[in-house]
Amino acid sequence: MTDQQHIYLDYAATCPVDPAVLQHMLPFFTEHFGNAASRTHAFGWEAEEAVSRARAQVAAVIGADAKEIAFTSGATEANNLALKGVAEFLKDKGNHVITVVTEHKAILDTGKHLERNGAEVTYLSVGSDGLVSMQALADAIRPETVLVSVMFANNETGVVQPIAEIGALCRSKGIMFHTDAVQAYGKVPIDVNEMNIDLMSISAHKIYGPKGVGALYVRRRRPRVRIAPQIHGGGHERGNRSGTLNVPGIVGFGAAAELAKTSMAQEAARTLELREHLRTRLEAEIPDTIVNGSLEQRLPGTLNVSFAYVEGESLLMGLKGIAVSSGSACTSASLEPSYVLKAMGLDDELAHSSLRISVGRFTTRAELDSVADRIRDQVERLRAMSPLWEMVQEGIDLKSIEWAHH
Ligand SMILES: *Cc1c(COP(=O)(O)O)cnc(C)c1O
């Protein structure tokens, strides 16, 4: 996706609404504007029918039943509802929750909140490939563990966790399993039954739907999962989440989900090919290019790379007009190196020099070729000015140097 001066390669942050999705939404702003909770007239019935359709469309992508989808304002809310909802409902059963250090802030900050309210939270570490260890997870489980929350795919690296294995372990121990599947939903096959997933957070705007709408999948059978609602007022969404439904947004979510389902195989193959084209060009043309995270266990469209001996901020400045992110999109304003990459063992310098490049439905090979050229030229320019790079080229081992500290 390109306008005059910009190339968009930040699909993991958000996507444009697909024009076909927008067409489905438009009538629900003006013509079919009814409240889906109005039971006494056709305006309400029409809205309710559209919401039901969307619920089925969203559920079908993950092998769920429509009744198991609770619409929310997005995945941040869905993550809050899952963690707080389970912790509160099961507080008499146990107070221990397990999650991972590389989760999205919507999980980590909610975990902090649970801790302030007396829960115990274990944050599992990850390997240099970004993956959690099944052994570490098994070892962390205690009799009072009520919930395990592990993201399906990481938003910064695209690394995909062993979700089916984690689901099987949790099910065998009778522990609820939640996954933040925002990045994976509609991109890779997911089956909540085969994978023993009890709760799942998803978001419309990461699959070419509108911003401000998402959902929590809540398993209803084998076992029936109960959560305590966090927003009260009318008992919408089977009591899980009150509030007048965002009908146009939900219709858009449904249309986006259906599009994602029908085009998944083809789009995954296309985005993988594009990503691999970019990766192989960068690795071939720029020495000391480091791909962050497992290359095998990874979403098709996401690449995270670091360039040794290059200062990250200067690199981004040199890439004006190319929309990529460095570190985490949510925390990059703070200039803190990415906590996800640091958890994978990267030092501050490499974490700082990282770029997340995420391709999507409207990305072209020509765009990636021009971006590869630009990145190569900028890295070369910055390294030409770097005394460290010069020393490395002369064969000096930087680790052997005693730096004078002032
Ligand atoms: C984008 C994202 C979220 C937040 O979703 P919103 O719908 O924007 O609130 C949560 N988790 C992950 C992994 C994400 O990528």
CATH number at residue 388: 3.90.1150.10
Task: Kindly give, in sequence order, each residue whose CB lies less than 8 Å from that of residue 311, ignoring residues fewer than 6 positions away.
Answer: 352, 353, 382
Please name every residue paired with 177 in a beta bridge, in sequence order, or none if there are none.
148
Whether residue 239 is contained in a domain is answered as yes
In a domain, 302, yes or no: yes
Q: Which of 11, 19, 61 is nearest to 274 (CA)?
A: 11
pLDDT tops 60 at residue 153 = yes
SS (H, E, C) 71-86: EECCHHHHHHHHHHHH
Which of 157, 180, 330 gets mutated to test ligand 1 (max ligand atoms within 8 A of its CB)?
180
Q: Find tokens 């205690």 and name the residue.
A: 142
Residue 170 bears catalytic tag: no
Is the domain of 239 the same as that of 280? no
- Which ranges constitute the DSSP H helices of 293-399? 312-318, 339-343, 348-352, 365-384, 387-393
Return the pLDDT at 331: 45
Please give the Cα distance from 292 to 327 (Å, whole number).
11
pTM: 0.95
* pLDDT band at residue 366 under the 50/70/90 scheme: very high
Task: Enter the DSSP assignment of 240.
Answer: T
Q: Is 302 in the pocket of ligand 1 (CB under 6 A)?
A: no
Given 330, 388, 391, 392, which residue is catalytic?
Answer: 330
**Which residue range forms the structural domain that includes residue 343?**
2-12+264-392
> Does pLDDT of 133 surpass 50?
yes
Q: Which of 149, 159, 182, 188 has the most ligand 1 atoms within 8 A of CB, as the residue to mutate?
A: 182
Distance CA(203)–CA(185), nearest Å, equals 8
Residues 343 and 269 in one domain: yes
> Do 321 and 364 sit in the same domain of this protein?
yes
Rounded CA gap, 380 and 376, in Å? 6
Query: How many folded domains does the chain comprise?
Result: 2
Least confident of 26-35, 313-322, 331-340, 368-377: 331-340
b/e string for 260-292 if b means 16 or more Cβ within 10 A? bbeebeebbebbeebbeebbebbeeebeebeeb
pLDDT interval class at 313 (50, 70, 90):
confident
User: Which of the four pLDDT bands, split at 50, 70 and 90, describes residue 68?
Assistant: very high
pLDDT tens digit sequence for 180-219: 999 999 999 999 999 999 999 999 999 999 999 999 999 9
Q: Is the model's pLDDT at 98 over the cut of 50?
A: yes
Which of 205, 226, 260 terminates a domain? The answer is 260
Give yes or no: residues 281 and 230 share one domain: no
Q: Is the pLDDT confidence value at 166 over 50?
A: yes
Residue 330 has pLDDT above 50, yes or no: no
Q: Is the CB of residue 182 below 6 angstroms from any atom belonging to ligand 1?
A: yes
What integer best gives the mean pLDDT of the chain?
A: 95
Range scoring the smallest mean pLDDT among 52-61, 87-96, 310-319: 310-319
Among residues 335, 331, 333, 327, the alpha carbon closest in space to that of 292 is found at: 327
Residues 46 and 59 in one domain: yes
Q: Are 221 and 270 in the same domain?
A: no
Which tokens sit at 328? Answer: 């985490």
Ligand 1 in contact with 372 (CB < 6 A)?
Answer: no
In a domain, 399, yes or no: no
User: Which residue, 222, 240, 260, sits at the end of a domain?
Assistant: 260
Residue 74 alpha carbon, nearest atom of ligand 1: 7
Same domain (yes/no): 133, 278: no
Are the beta carbons of 129 and 205 closer than 8 angstroms?
Answer: no
pLDDT at 322 over 90: yes
* CB atoms closer than 10 angstroms to residue 330: 14
The CA 203 to ligand 1 mean position distance, Å, reads 7
**Which SS3 state, helix, strand or coil, does residue 135 take?**
helix
- pLDDT, position 404: 66
> Do residues 273 and 248 both lie within one domain?
no
Question: Are residues 253 and 291 located together in one domain of the fold?
Answer: no
pLDDT at res. 328: 38
Percent of the chain with pLDDT over 90: 88
The answer to whether residue 333 sits within a structural domain is: yes
The stretch 208-236 carries a mean pLDDT of: 96
Question: 46: which 2 tokens?
Answer: 């029409």
Helix (H) or strand (E) holding 218: strand 214-218
Task: Indicate whether 384 belongs to any domain.
Answer: yes
How confident is the model at residue 22, as a pLDDT?
Answer: 98
Residues 141 and 277 in one domain: no
Interhelix angle 365-384/247-285, rounded to 10 degrees, is 50
